[in-house]
Amino acid sequence: MEYQIAEQNGEYFFNGNYYLSKGVTSNIPNKEIAEILNFTRKLVKQHNGIDYLQTFYSIDQDCKLFFIDNLNTEMIESGGFSVSDNYATLILSSEY
């Protein structure tokens, strides 16, 4: 698994529920999915928030993945969203 550095900083914490697309569950091994989740959590801690869009490349599966967070800190703290609105989705770039 290879991480592609995000071009922007952000206030996204990837701390809600996680969803996986059909393409991810069909093509990416659970071990690689866990690596992406753990790596993203470490990035969030290291930078105190990151960009909403994180990009990875699966060398073994030869495909690009997008990990997209739905809400940033300001949105969560506004009270205008429910707990169920706070989620991140891991998808294949071809599913975008």
For the chain, domain boundaries: 2-95
pLDDT computed for residue 48 by the predictor:
95
Average pLDDT over residues 24-48: 97
State the chain's maximal CA–CA distance in angstroms: 42
Q: Look up residue 31 and give its DSSP letter.
A: H
* Sheet strands side by side (includes 17-20): 2-4, 53-58, 63-69, 87-92, 17-20
CB atoms within 10 A of CB 96: 11
Q: What residue has token string 């990009």? A: 55
Please report which confidence band the pLDDT of residue 7 belongs to, taking 50, 70 and 90 as the band edges: confident
